[in-house]
Copies of this chain bind each other. A is one copy, B any other.
Amino acid sequence: MRYELYYWPNIQGRGELVRLALEHAGCDYVDVARGKDGMKHLLHALSDPKRPRPSYAPPFLKVGKQIIGQTANILFYLGARHAELAPRGEADRLWVHQLQLTIADLVGEAHDTHHPLASSQYYEDQKPAAKKRAADFRKTRVPKYLGYFERVLSHNGKQLVGRRITYADLSLFQVVAGLRYAFPKAMKRIEREHPHVVALYERVEDLPKIAAYLASPRRVEFNEDGIFRRYPALDG
């Protein structure tokens, strides 16, 4: 069955975590909002008052008549269906999901570095606060999160869980890519302390289907509308 992904067409954002999973598993999918009349379909799906189980926000995935929202929930669903994305046993599946939810927390904090006061207002209108939040993010939060994943990797080996890549590895790759984009100076320093995380990043980058995807026009470029934004004032 063809998956229909609904997400903002011009950013990587949280949708990218789903895109990477769909690509790595070789799924047949359509990125609805990037096609013809895409935004119209996305906005309709979000606001249709007849829909009994609406999603609060993109991304959501349509599979036949079922619609699944919340990034980590979508990945959990895909993990149960594609052996390329997660192990089979329940305890392992919950552990991968736990890691994914921790990655989600890090992604949320990355967003708030440029929007510490209100997501409804411009970055330019909250820049002094953004500088403070970003400084704390670089100094305490990123090292704490990456230190945690380093610890998990140093226990397990080349990937976060078991003997094969899972969707959590793909998401950790994406987060490191985003942190490198947004905070190049800080990451140069922080990465030295996290060799397992860097090795995983490089491994995921070289996975055949991921490498092909990253080189394709399907991969949206990082930009200053997404979660990870390159604002030099916030790096250091």
Contact = CB atoms under 8 A, between A and B. Distances in A.
A87 interface: no
Contacts of A77: 94
Contact of A155 (B52, B68, B140, B145): B52
Interface stretch (A33-41, A111-119, A180-188): A111-119
A120 B140 contact: yes
Q: State the oligomeric state as a number of copies.
A: 2
Nearest to A148: B56
A121 interface: yes
A118 B95 contact: no
Contacts of A54: 148, 151-152
Name A's interface SS: helix
A102 B104 CA distance: 12
Nearest to A65: B91
A116 B133 contact: yes
A97 interface: yes
Interface string A56-84: 10000000001011101100110000000
Contacts of A55: 98
A102 to B, nearest CB: 5
Contacts of A94: 68, 73, 76-77
A129 interface: yes
A69 B151 CA distance: 16
Contacts of A224: none
B136 A116 contact: no
A108 interface: yes
Interface in A146-175: 148, 151-152, 155-156
27 contacts: A49-B151, A52-B155, A52-B156, A53-B155, A54-B148, A54-B151, A55-B98, A56-B105, A56-B148, A68-B94, A68-B98, A69-B98, A69-B102, A70-B97, A70-B101, A70-B102, A73-B97, A73-B101, A76-B94, A77-B94, A105-B108, A108-B108, A116-B116, A116-B133, A117-B133, A118-B132, A120-B140
Interface of A: 49, 52-56, 66, 68-70, 72-73, 76-77, 91, 94-95, 97-98, 101-102, 105, 108, 112, 116-121, 126, 129, 132-133, 136, 140, 145, 148, 151-152, 155-156
